[in-house]
Amino acid sequence: MLKTILRRLLVALPLLLVISFLSFALISLAPGDYFAQLKTNPQISEQTIERFRQEYNLDKPVYVQYLSWLGGIVQGDLGYSFVKKAPVIKVIGERIGPTLLLSVVSLLLIWLLALPLGIYAAVHFRKLGDKVLAFFSFLGLSLPNFFLALLLLYLASVSGILPTGGMVSVNFDQLSWWQQILDVSRHLILPAAVIALAGVAALQRLMRGNMLEVLGEQYIKTAQAKGLPKRRIVYGHAVRNAINPLITLFGFEFSNLLSGAALTEIITSWPGMGSMMLEAVGQQDLYLVMGGMIIGGSMLIVGNLLADILLIIADPRIHVS
């Protein structure tokens, strides 16, 4: 396993280079840049705009801009955010924590709920429980995230049980440490629930389908004929084989939460990277967009590495092969 991890980490560096180059090239294809928008301001002269463009190498060819930005990364500098008027690494540092918190909690909720529900639906195939879960799964897949977020926000505002936006309360600094944890947790419930509901609906259906396929295999029928307890057949044999394809999806889900949470973050005013990235793309904040792309690419690589490790743990035959 150690060799596998080291090999994947060595591959990660050139992969990030390719991702960053393609992202930089695609962003540069867009007409104009951030400073071109300043031309509509009569108080800013053409000379000032041109000086800014020269200062940040935006007057040079794309490959020169990319190499200059890449050289800064080697020194720990991701560039300067034009919109936020601050170094990119500082801006991302303020946003990465809330995004990781929301992503990890949502991912845990999705897997902790979807797997047992999928197993239950498969074991009770075509019974009442399976039909009820199928109805809610189709409902969860049909409702767009933004509609679900608005619906939950309305219910929260009417009931007053949960906060309707942000990550902390106004009086957060005056609270004790345990009250601060509780306050953040209360604000986290609504955006995490929005992301988790759609994820649970999809993953539960996949787990149910995999379980039904495995339960129809000959070795399961042989185990049943031998009189093995149903619980041992389901959890000792069927689940371990049915879960393998889902673990492969883990890496993609982990990275997709960064972009998938963007709309939810905006609606619920959660101060994460998704809303930051949308604003940066809209304002053509080149280096902030590139910093976000590097974080997204890193999350994809880390997620896939974790998925491979979990696959080896779940099925040792993969490690042997």
- Kindly state whether residues 205 and 310 are assigned to the same domain: yes
- Kindly state whether residues 209 and 246 are assigned to the same domain: yes
Q: What is the pLDDT of residue 92?
A: 92
For residue range 180-195, what is the model confidence (pLDDT) as tens digits?
999 999 999 999 998 8
- Kindly state whether residues 106 and 76 are assigned to the same domain: no
Last residue of a domain, one of 33, 52, 82: 82
- Spatial neighbors of 319 by CB under 8 A, at least 6 apart, are 1, 4, 312
Residue 260 banded pLDDT, cuts 50, 70, 90: low
Residue 205 banded pLDDT, cuts 50, 70, 90: very high
- Kindly state whether residues 151 and 203 are assigned to the same domain: yes
What is the average pLDDT value for the chain, to the nearest integer? 85
β-bridge mates for residue 87, sequence order: 80
Region 265-270: mean pLDDT is 87
Region 100-121: mean pLDDT is 91
- Kindly state whether residues 78 and 93 are assigned to the same domain: no
For residue range 131-168, what is the model confidence (pLDDT) as tens digits?
999 999 988 888 888 888 888 888 888 888 888 888 99
pTM of the model: 0.84
Full domain range(s) for residue 42: 2-82
Q: What is the per-residue DSSP string for 124-169?
A: TTTSHHHHHHHHHHHHHHHS-HHHHHHHHHHHHHHH-SS--SSSS-
- Report percent pLDDT > 70 for the chain: 95
Q: Between 310 and 233, where is the model more confident?
A: 233
